[in-house]
Every structure is written in C-alpha cells, then in structure tokens.
Amino acid sequence: MISGLVQILLFQGAGELVSNFLLPLIPGPVIGLVLLLAYLAARRRVPEDVDRVGSALVQHLGLLFVPAAVGVVLFLPQLRSNGLAVALALVVSVVLTIAVPALVLRVLARPR
C-alpha cells in the first residue's frame, strides 16, 4: 500500500514541477492527475497498490470536507453580512458550470 501512495505522490510532485516551470496557470495536482491517467492508460491496467490507496482515499473523501465546514462556521458573521452576494455567486457559478460544458458539447458534437 505504501508503494501505491508513493506512486500517487510522485505524480503529484511531477505535476507540481510541471506547473511551477512550464504551465503556471494549471494547478500542479491537476497536471499530476493527468500524468497519472496517461501512465495508467499506457499500462492498460491499474496497479493493485494504487487501486487500494485510491479506494481508501475515496472511502474517506467526506473527511476532506471537514476543514471547509470549519471555515464556514469560522466566517459565519461575514457570510451573514454578505449572504446575498455569496448566494448570487453560488447560483451564477453553478449555472455557468452546467451551461459552459453543455455549450462546448453542442459545438463539438455537431455533425460534420
């Protein structure tokens, strides 16, 4: 299991290096995930250790939301005073998150 964690962390580290030196606009973990995906696609299988670590991380994914919830509670007075702006920003971001990929899909799926 440690070798799987090391492999995942190596790809994240490689992503951070690429992000810092070549593509500063893309976050390192995103680049690392793309590199890991390319590696797994080239191998045509997921190594057992990486699968075990990935499954364990997904099972405990809810724990990653605890810091965000604590932040919401910590900044509750500011959120109350700016509630309308926060709600509007959330609604607009959700609508754009749904609409933009739909429009891109419509453009890319046009028959040629």
Helix, strand, coil % (nearest 5) of the chain? 85, 0, 15
Per the prediction, the chain carries an average pLDDT of 91
- 110-to-86, 99, 101, 103 alpha-carbon distances in Å: 36, 17, 14, 11
- CA–CA separation, 67 and 72 (whole Å): 9
Burial 88-105 (b: 16+ CB within 10 A, else e): eeeeeeeeeeeeeeeeee
In which band, very low, low, confident or very high, does the pLDDT at 109 lie, cut at 50, 70 and 90? confident
Dihedral over Cα of 37, 38, 44, 45: its sign? negative
Check pLDDT > 80 for residue 112: no
What confidence tens digit (pLDDT) does each residue in 36-78 have?
999 999 999 999 999 999 999 899 888 888 888 888 888 889 8
The answer to whether the pTM exceeds 0.75 is no
Q: What percent of the chain has pLDDT over 90?
A: 66
Q: Which long-range contacts (CB under 8 A, 24 or more apart) does 87-91 make?
A: none
pLDDT of the residue at 111: 78
Dihedral over Cα of 51, 57, 59, 61: its sign? negative
